[in-house]
Amino acid sequence: MSWWPFRSESKKQDFVEEYLRLFEKPIPGIRKITQLDFVVLDTETTGLDPKNDYVISFGGIKIQKGKILVETAIEWYPESPKEGADTAMIHGLVNRENLLRPKVFSEKLLEYIGPSILVGHHLNFDLEMLQKIGSSSGLKNFRNPSLDTLELAVRLEHGPHVNWQEIPMKEYSLDALCERYQIPSDDRHTAGGDAFLTAQLLLKLLKVAEKKGIVNYQQLFR
Amino acid sequence: MSNVIINRVAEFLRRHPPFSFLEEEDLLGIACSVEISYLAKNEVLFRKGEPANPHFFILKEGQILLQEEGEIREYCDVGDLFGVLALLGKRPYVLDALAGENSLVYAVPVEEFEKLLEKNPKVSLYFAAGFAAGQVVFRTDLGQGQKAREVFGRKEQDHSLLIFSGQSTIQISKNVLTCKTSDSVQEAANRMDKKQVSSIVICDESNFPIGILTDKDLRSKVLAKGLSPSLPVSEIMSSPVITKKPDSDFAELYLSMIKNRLHHLVLTEDGTPKSRVCGIFSDHDVLLSMGNSPAVLIHALINAKSSEEMGQIRDRAETMLRYYLENEVSMDFVAGVMTEINDVIIQQAIEEGQKQLLPDFPEMEAVPFAFLSMGSEGREEQLLRTDQDNALVYGDVPEKLKEKAKDYFLQLGTYVVETLLTCGFASCPGEIMASNPKWVLPISSWKAQFSEWILHPSPEALMKSSIFFDFRVVKGSRSLGDDLSNHIFDEIKKKPIFLNFLAQNALQNPPPLGFFRNFLVEKSGEHRDQFDIKARAMLPLTDLARLLILYHGIPGVNNTFKRFEKLAEVEPNYKDLFTQAAKAYEILMRMRALEGLQQNSSGRFIAPEKLGKIQRHLLKNSFAPIQELQEIVQVRFQLDYFRS
């Protein structure tokens, strides 16, 4: 029914309002990168089409004061609209327990990320999928600053004025980058595992950035 | 929880002792608490003299070098543990650790591990053995350690702790104060007082050491127990004494102090108690050898190249603070030194901020301004790094420059606030900071704001007044600050009823003791059964001191205990009470700071049952002046009539 022009928008839940209020005060441009809070995330989905596919699992881990905090690592499994039909198949793929209803999942998610900077590999895709779950709670988009490790890696290796047409994208897959930055990648293709790899990749990329004089928020998000 | 990640971390730990001794459940608990950081080559993890992190480290990948003055002392490989010694001994680091290659380091919080040390004898044995052998690095594989030694050409004798600085830098007191076993405690204390030293060595006829008596013994073994000072020292002294040779290296001396929990170590000619005393080595000497003195720290701050470096130096200042507090150094001095250190950080930040901003705002160079610290930092009482409270005032500018000035000073204020953040001073939850446009104002707006609060003393205005009126100029134009102070006094003179409101406000803090002289503790929440030393004991005193100082119109005294001392001069009929209040406040500051250092918190909440008997008594006594002062204020400001 997405073509239907008079569809009323879902009313914003209180937790969404509360989340939006977190962004009233911007982060000062000169804040040091080491003082920034990051949430590194990844999702596993049934496919690559945001319209018809959905999130099977969500993994996240926080970085604060330049440190990955293992304690903050989470992996959650949102309930999907097709849960009934595909349950058997999904259970075959991943061991999903404690399925979370969309509203519960979104509330936990917004509380978890707060006003932190969101980080991911191909982050926009993950955010689009996550927003879809939140839409029934009135979440239109994420207000957090977002940082794609793919874009950051390209910017650091090719400079800021890169011609994206010339970038061999194969060299910037998470696998390829992990290999290049010497991150042993054993847990590929679980949301938690990929988030952890991406977090390690981010720490290494930020070190490279620092050497290039990128040390504060403004320079990182130039 | 993400089991994938925790399992991945646990899997690595499991391959290396002492984690290999752990049960699966304990291992997962440890893995869960790990913090991971990444160091680029040559980056420093910790420096000699810095206080020990609450973590120790395991190298996940890369290589860490432990160095002293650029010379490599040890070399850590993947799986090696380091930073343990400083932690178990609760002493500052004794070596620099820096990355020899790009390195991934896992940090494990020590409190998690201490639990296991108690539970698992194998683990504690592992550490005890290494500790006794003076290992700096706990090796996964001894073969690698051997290899490292060959690579760096280390000699045989280096089995001891080479991590400490060389003999040349050790300060040993050669003049040792001594007395005979038959001398009285009184006599010994007298001599210590005359020489201004913290210990005395008790010797026999041939000057061989038999025992030692320290400041702490006098306190806890004599005064606290109510023993008579006429007893012979032999009944009180600690005996036998642990002795070392005067030419022992620093490492040996230091380690024997750590192991035996000593503050003083006696040196004898041949290192045994059966020879003559020839020197004494104290905690204080250790501190000096490590370079943590106010002068050294301030010098280092002034020469720091980045805000991160300033943050590290500020961490070191905390070690010094703890030493001062534990050794009962006068609060006047301690608060003075810490304020100076905090001020230098702000002054450096302002200079750096100006350097960066002025090229874009050349016309602002001529505009006077003052950076104001408020709240506890304004009162020169901030020992621990609690919240920031600051603001900025600048001279009035012509209309056409107004927007520009606003922009410039807000950016300058934000620069300072961000630097303080990097140095470990948390954001103010109420946003009372020089990065908030509400608190970066020209002097005319500040005056209007202050007048407004004095004219309309709403609860909000009174709360703000209690923070802002304790302002102090940390850098910039003093005359702007004086102008503001005078304005406050003038306005209050015009509208003295403001003081009655302020007085009423000052009496609203919750009382410290209940009817049965029991501590009133929090009834619920995170701090249940803990005593709120800030709200129940310190705030009443700060509020009362501020009120009376404003009442007398005395400018330029910010410190709460100095305010009471000043009040004792102004109102001689209450001299004793004010002097007592000043003392009480010092005691409260010391207790709170020590609690904060021990718990790694703001120290605001104290568990009364954990206090020793003397401390409990001291704390209760410090409440006495609060009630008396409140009664005086009640009468002076006619609050009984006022309230209805």
pTM score: 0.62
In this complex, do B107 and A67 lie within 8 Å of one another by their Cβ atoms? yes
Residue the block writes with tokens 């022992």: B248
Residue B584 pLDDT > 60, yes or no?
A: yes
- Amino acid of residue B630: Q
In this complex, do B1 and A67 lie within 8 Å of one another by their Cβ atoms? no
In this complex, do B37 and A196 lie within 8 Å of one another by their Cβ atoms? no
Residue the block writes with tokens 């073994």: B221
CATH code for the domain defined by A14-220:
3.30.420.10
In this complex, do B32 and A193 lie within 8 Å of one another by their Cβ atoms? no
Mean pLDDT (whole number) for A138-164: 92
Bridge-based pairing state of the strands B264-268 and B243-244 = parallel
Q: Quick count: other Cβ atoms within 10 Å of Cβ B101?
A: 13
* Cα separation, B337 vs B161, whole angstroms: 33
What's the Cα-to-Cα distance from B264 to each of A73, B194, B208, B280, B328, rounded to whole Å? 46, 19, 16, 7, 16
Query: How much is the pLDDT for B166?
Result: 31
Domain boundaries, chain B: 3-163, 169-289, 295-489, 496-644
Chain B residue numbers with beta carbons less than 8 Å from the beta carbon of A74 are 1-2
Can you give B15-74 as a three-state secondary structure string? CCCCHHHCCHHHHHHHHHHCEEEEECCCCEEECCCCCCCCEEEEEEECCEEEEECCEEEE
Query: Which superfamily, per CATH, for B169-289?
Result: CBS-domain (3.10.580.10)
pLDDT band at B73 (very low <50, low <70, confident <90, very high): confident
Query: How much is the pLDDT for A174?
Result: 92
In this complex, do B5 and A211 lie within 8 Å of one another by their Cβ atoms? no
Lowest mean pLDDT among B121-135, B354-368, B621-635: B121-135
Query: How much is the pLDDT for B452?
Result: 94
Average pLDDT, chain B: 83
In this complex, do B8 and A35 lie within 8 Å of one another by their Cβ atoms? no
* Cα separation, A221 vs A218, whole angstroms: 5
Q: Which of B1, B3, B4, B13 to mutate to test the interface with A (most CBs of A within 10 A)?
A: B4
Query: How much is the pLDDT for B305?
Result: 80
Query: How much is the pLDDT for B130?
Result: 59
* Cα separation, B539 vs B550, whole angstroms: 16
Segment of A110-114, B31-35, B104-108, B502-506 carrying the highest mean pLDDT: A110-114
Higher-pLDDT residue of B114 and B190 is B190
pLDDT in tens, B527-570: 888 888 888 889 999 999 999 999 998 888 889 999 999 999 99
- DSSP state, residue B600: T
Chain B residue numbers with beta carbons less than 8 Å from the beta carbon of A203 are 36-38
pLDDT band at B129 (very low <50, low <70, confident <90, very high): low
Q: Which of A57, A70, A186, A218 to mutate to test the interface with B (most CBs of B within 10 A)?
A: A70
Segment of B94-103, B148-157, B570-579 carrying the highest mean pLDDT: B570-579
Average pLDDT, chain A: 87
Query: Which residues are within 8 A (CB) of B26 and not within 5 positions of it... i.e. 6 or more apart?
Result: B116, B119, B120
Decide if domain B3-163 falls under CATH 2.60.120.10: yes
pLDDT in tens, A35-72: 999 999 999 888 888 888 889 899 999 999 999 999 99
Nearest CA distance, A206 vs chain B (angstrom): 10
Q: Which of 40-59 (B) contact A at CB < 8 A? A: 40
pLDDT band at B183 (very low <50, low <70, confident <90, very high): very high
Query: How much is the pLDDT for B290?
Result: 55
- Amino acid of residue B124: S
Is residue A66 less than 8 Å (CB to CB) from chain B? yes
* Cα separation, A116 vs A40, whole angstroms: 10
CB-based burial label for A161 (10 Å; 0-12, 13-18, 19+): exposed
Residue B145 pLDDT > 50, yes or no?
A: no
Residue A122 pLDDT > 80, yes or no?
A: yes
In this complex, do B36 and A204 lie within 8 Å of one another by their Cβ atoms? no
Residue B611 pLDDT > 60, yes or no?
A: yes
Residue the block writes with tokens 């045989």: B156
pLDDT band at B143 (very low <50, low <70, confident <90, very high): very low
Q: What percent of chain B has pLDDT over 90?
A: 34
pLDDT band at B151 (very low <50, low <70, confident <90, very high): very low
Bridge partners (DSSP) listed for residue B262: none
Lowest mean pLDDT among B316-325, B338-347, B624-633: B316-325
- DSSP state, residue A58: E
Higher-pLDDT residue of B13 and A94 is B13
Domain boundaries, chain A: 14-220
Q: Which two tokens stand for residue B84?
A: 């343990």
In this complex, do A70 and B33 lie within 8 Å of one another by their Cβ atoms? yes
Chain A residue numbers with beta carbons less than 8 Å from the beta carbon of B4 are 59, 75, 187, 190, 192-193, 196
Residue A95 pLDDT > 50, yes or no?
A: yes
Mean pLDDT (whole number) for B137-147: 42
Residue A111 pLDDT > 90, yes or no?
A: yes
Counting one residue from chain A and one from chain B, the pairs whose CB atoms sit within 8 A come to: 91
Lowest mean pLDDT among A136-140, B341-345, B523-527: B523-527
pLDDT in tens, A200-217: 999 999 999 999 999 999
Nearest CA distance, B425 vs chain A (angstrom): 12
Query: How much is the pLDDT for B154?
Result: 32
Query: How much is the pLDDT for B150?
Result: 33
Mean pLDDT (whole number) for B93-117: 84
Chain B residue numbers with beta carbons less than 8 Å from the beta carbon of A73 are 1-2, 5-6
Is residue A34 less than 8 Å (CB to CB) from chain B? yes
Q: What percent of chain A has pLDDT over 70?
A: 87
Query: Which residues are within 8 A (CB) of B535 and not within 5 positions of it... i.e. 6 or more apart?
Result: B509, B510, B604
Residue B141 pLDDT > 50, yes or no?
A: no
Kindly identify which residue of chain A lies nearest to residue B421, measuring between CA atoms. A35
Of the CATH numbers 2.40.50.140, 1.10.10.10, 2.60.40.10, 3.30.460.10, which one belongs to the domain with range B295-489?
3.30.460.10
* Cα separation, B199 vs B357, whole angstroms: 54
Chain B residue numbers with beta carbons less than 8 Å from the beta carbon of A44 are none
CATH code for the domain defined by B496-644:
1.20.120
Query: How much is the pLDDT for B255?
Result: 63
Higher-pLDDT residue of B254 and B198 is B198
Chain A residue numbers with beta carbons less than 8 Å from the beta carbon of B357 are none
In this complex, do B37 and A66 lie within 8 Å of one another by their Cβ atoms? yes
pLDDT in tens, B409-446: 999 999 999 999 999 998 888 899 999 999 999 999 99
Query: How much is the pLDDT for B56?
Result: 84
**Sign of the dihedral defined by the CA atoms of residues A87, A92, A96, A102, in that order:** negative
- For A221, the 3-state DSSP assignment is coil
Residue A85 pLDDT > 60, yes or no?
A: no
Query: How much is the pLDDT for B135?
Result: 55
Residue B132 pLDDT > 60, yes or no?
A: no
Lowest mean pLDDT among A8-22, A144-158, B360-374, B386-400: A8-22
**CB of A110 within 8 A of CB of A16?**
yes
Q: Is the peptide bond prior to B18 cis by the omega test (within 30 degrees of 0)?
A: yes
Higher-pLDDT residue of A166 and B299 is A166
Is residue B31 less than 8 Å (CB to CB) from chain A? yes
Is residue A203 less than 8 Å (CB to CB) from chain B? yes
Chain B residue numbers with beta carbons less than 8 Å from the beta carbon of A196 are 2, 4-5, 8
pLDDT band at B165 (very low <50, low <70, confident <90, very high): very low
pLDDT band at A149 (very low <50, low <70, confident <90, very high): very high
Smallest CA-to-CA distance from B28 within B13, B43, B50, B48 is with B13
Which of A71, A74, A182 lies closest to B33 in CB terms? A71
Mean pLDDT (whole number) for B87-102: 79
Query: How much is the pLDDT for B160?
Result: 24
